Amino acid sequence: MSAISKLVDRLNGALKRVPVLPLYFVALVPGLWTFYQALAGQLGADPMRALEQGLGLWALRFMLATLAVTPLMRWPGIRLLRFRRMLGLTVFWYVLAHLTVYIVLDQQFYWLAIARDILKRPYIIFGMTAFVALVPMAITSNDLSVRRLGAMAWRNLHRLAYPAGVLMVLHYLWLVKSWTAGPLAYAALMALLLGLRLVPRGSSGRRRTREKSNARNVSTARA
Amino acid sequence: MAYRPVHKIPSSEITPKSVYLNRRSLMAGAGAAFAAGMLPGHAWAKLETKPSKYGADLKPTAEEYITSYNNFYEFGTGKADPSENAGSLTTSPWSVKVDGLVAKPGTLALEDIVPKVQEDRTYRHRCVEAWSMVIPWVGFQLSDLLTKVEPLGSAKYVAFETLVRPDEMPGQKGFFQPLDWPYVEGLRLDEAMHPLTILATGLYGEELPNQNGAPLRLVVPWKYGFKSIKSIVRITLTEKEPPTTWNKAASNEYGFYSNVNPNVDHPRWSQATERPIGGGLLSQRQPTLMFNGYEDEVASLYTGMDLKKYF
């Protein structure tokens, strides 16, 4: 056994003992902290924009984490599948909060402007479409839905995560005034995580991991 | 770490009493000390000013916001980057090269450009990103300087250039550069000669903080903020319309004129309303005014022009 696989096995052992339920709340802490800072006047001259962008960024980070689960399982063999539902739902909560700030604090219920934005502005279109794609996934992120829909249909539905991820980085890239390093880095990471899914399965490294995961779960992506 | 504490300033730059009024040196010291957190915020040298008729009715945005929320990509693309990184900029000595179609070209020391007594000019400031401030500038009319150097009859435009000094401007360093340097801007000669157009050296009665474009910046209050170029080192009179930085970066989004106009949207967002900075989390949007509220003064510059075409 190589040093790396020993390390991975130890990591997997430790991960098995981490309870998932508290993490649903822990994952919301950065957003709540940003909201507190905005209220406390700690976010500078434009707290609304800082809060709006902060929530959007956390949504994107959790999206990347969600989409990293499969590649991490396939190559180093790190098993994070238990946490994926938590990660994915966290994306949804952050996107929902981000959208709420946009409607309530940024546009201030100026529905005409919002409607015009949705029709005219590519980055708003991307963001809104990503949100629409996340809704059915969030609704079906529970065991009952998996049973009702059946594994195949459920998995197909949750492939919406790929276009949603692409739309989220486009939303970010499109809204900045020039090509800055931040959005480009997020876009590159997204491209990497989605691109890894195109690698044919035969070339995958650790057979043991693959067989185990294939046997047990419905969600190893093949796209 | 971009902060440069005071003791790193060479002793040759410490102001002797005899040139105590050389406010540039004083400014460099105070700015650096402020950046190092050694002095409170109001350490800049006071300027000698006289009131003007402009902006007496406007309520200025708080100084802490004007000096901490800046677009000055030479110091980084984040709004707080300039206030964090600009403290190390050396603003003394400073000179401006004036060339092109003028009878008296030359390199002028800042002291020879700035009048002893300047004006208080409180202007609305509208960023193309749809936020706004009210800024109590201290400055003098650009027309004063231009008249002194005597533009030739063939001069139609004025081009401006910002300092390039990667050692002190971290945004100009490194692998990833968001814009081409130097930052360049331009005005039509009649816009440049307009009484509203000023070169500013201060705000709130004190020397400009580096992040606001020290020691000398343009202010054209009826145009989007990016036209008001900062830390100017060169002014060139030209016959042809000069290139401008944001236009080079995205010509479909940023025109040469870039007059504030609520009826002409940015391709990616509406310009009909703006969010005033300083109102906190619940700051109310307000309608954007034609020519940023300076329609009476400047509309005649554009008579007969299609402002949708020449945006």
Partners of B283 on chain A (C-beta within 8 Å) are 48
Does A44 reside within a domain? yes
CA-based nearest distance A80→chain B, Å: 34
Whether residue A44 and residue B80 make contact (CB cut-off 8 A), yes or no, is yes
Q: Is A11 on the interface with B (CB under 8 A)?
A: no
Q: Is A175 on the interface with B (CB under 8 A)?
A: yes
Instruction: Quote the tokens at residue B31.
Output: 């700015």
pLDDT of amino acid B44? 55
Does A102 reside within a domain? yes
User: How much of chain A, in percent, has pLDDT values that exceed 70?
Assistant: 89
Whether residue B176 and residue A116 make contact (CB cut-off 8 A), yes or no, is no
- From the list A46, A110, A175, the residue facing B131 with the nearest CB is A46
Q: pLDDT confidence of A162, banded at 50, 70, 90?
A: very high
Q: Is A142 on the interface with B (CB under 8 A)?
A: no
CA–CA dist A215, A201 (Å, integer): 15
Burial class (CB in 10 A: 0-12, 13-18, 19+), B153: exposed
What ipTM describes this predicted complex? 0.70
Instruction: Quote the tokens at residue B62.
Output: 């708080």
Average pLDDT over residues B60-77: 95
Q: Give the CATH number, domain containing residue B148.
A: 3.90.420.10
Average pLDDT over residues B68-85: 94
In this structure, are residues A35 and A48 in contact, taking their beta carbons and an 8 Å threshold? no
Q: What is the pLDDT of residues B21-30, one digit of tens each?
A: 444 444 444 4
Local structure of B178: helix, strand or coil: coil
Q: Is A117 on the interface with B (CB under 8 A)?
A: yes
Q: Is A110 on the interface with B (CB under 8 A)?
A: yes
pLDDT of amino acid B29? 46
Does B17 reside within a domain? no
Q: pLDDT confidence of B103, banded at 50, 70, 90?
A: very high
Q: pLDDT confidence of A73, banded at 50, 70, 90?
A: very high
Partners of B176 on chain A (C-beta within 8 Å) are 180-181, 184
- What range does the domain containing B123 cover? 46-58+93-302
Does A39 reside within a domain? yes
The torsion region of residue B205 among left (phi > 0), alpha (psi -120 to 50) and beta comes to: left
Partners of B81 on chain A (C-beta within 8 Å) are none
Partners of B282 on chain A (C-beta within 8 Å) are 48, 105
- From the list A105, A117, A179, the residue facing B281 with the nearest CB is A105
Partners of A116 on chain B (C-beta within 8 Å) are 270
Does A209 reside within a domain? yes
CA–CA dist A26, B115 (Å, integer): 59
Q: pLDDT confidence of A203, banded at 50, 70, 90?
A: low
- From the list B249, B270, B278, the residue facing A113 with the nearest CB is B270
Domain count, chain B: 1
Residue with tokens 């008001």: B228
- From the list B68, B249, B265, the residue facing A45 with the nearest CB is B68
pLDDT of amino acid A116? 85
Does A35 reside within a domain? yes
Does B8 reside within a domain? no
pLDDT higher than 60, residue A110: yes
CA-based nearest distance B77→chain A, Å: 8
Please give the residue that has the higher pLDDT: either A182 or B228: B228
pLDDT of amino acid A1? 65
User: How much of chain B, in percent, has pLDDT values that exceed 90?
Assistant: 79
Q: Is A121 on the interface with B (CB under 8 A)?
A: yes
Domain count, chain A: 1
For chain B, how big is the Rg over CA atoms in Å? 19
- From the list A41, A122, A178, the residue facing B280 with the nearest CB is A41
* Neighbour order of strands in the sheet with B157-162: B106-109, B95-100, B232-238, B157-162, B184-188
- From the list B79, B128, B131, the residue facing A44 with the nearest CB is B79
Q: Is A7 on the interface with B (CB under 8 A)?
A: no
Residue in chain B closest to A178 (alpha carbons) equals B178
CA-based nearest distance A57→chain B, Å: 15
pLDDT higher than 50, residue A67: yes
Helix pair A29-39, A81-101: axis angle to 10 deg? 20
CA–CA dist A169, A177 (Å, integer): 15
- Taking all residues of chain B, what is their mean pLDDT, rounded to a whole number? 88
Average pLDDT over residues A20-38: 96
DSSP letters, B106-157, are EEEEHHHHS-SSEEEEEEEEE-TTSEEEEEEEEEEEHHHHHHHH-B-TT--E
DSSP letters, B154-173, are T--EEEEEE---TTT-GGGS
- What range does the domain containing A100 cover? 3-216
Partners of B131 on chain A (C-beta within 8 Å) are 46, 49
The torsion region of residue B304 among left (phi > 0), alpha (psi -120 to 50) and beta comes to: left
CA–CA dist B68, A64 (Å, integer): 32
pLDDT higher than 70, residue B70: yes
Please give the residue that has the higher pLDDT: either B214 or B269: B214
Whether residue A179 and residue B284 make contact (CB cut-off 8 A), yes or no, is no
- From the list B65, B269, B278, the residue facing A121 with the nearest CB is B269
Beta strands in A58-201 (DSSP E): none
Does A222 reside within a domain? no
Cα within 13 Å of Cα(B35), Cβ side:
28
Does A223 reside within a domain? no
Does B64 reside within a domain? no
Top mean pLDDT of A173-182, A205-214, B225-234 is at: B225-234
Is the previous residue joined to B182 through a cis bond, with omega within 30 degrees of 0?
Answer: yes
Mutate to test the interface with A, among B265, B283, B285 (most CBs of A within 10 A): B283
CA-based nearest distance A127→chain B, Å: 13
Average pLDDT over residues B219-243: 98
Partners of B265 on chain A (C-beta within 8 Å) are 120
Whether residue A47 and residue B281 make contact (CB cut-off 8 A), yes or no, is yes
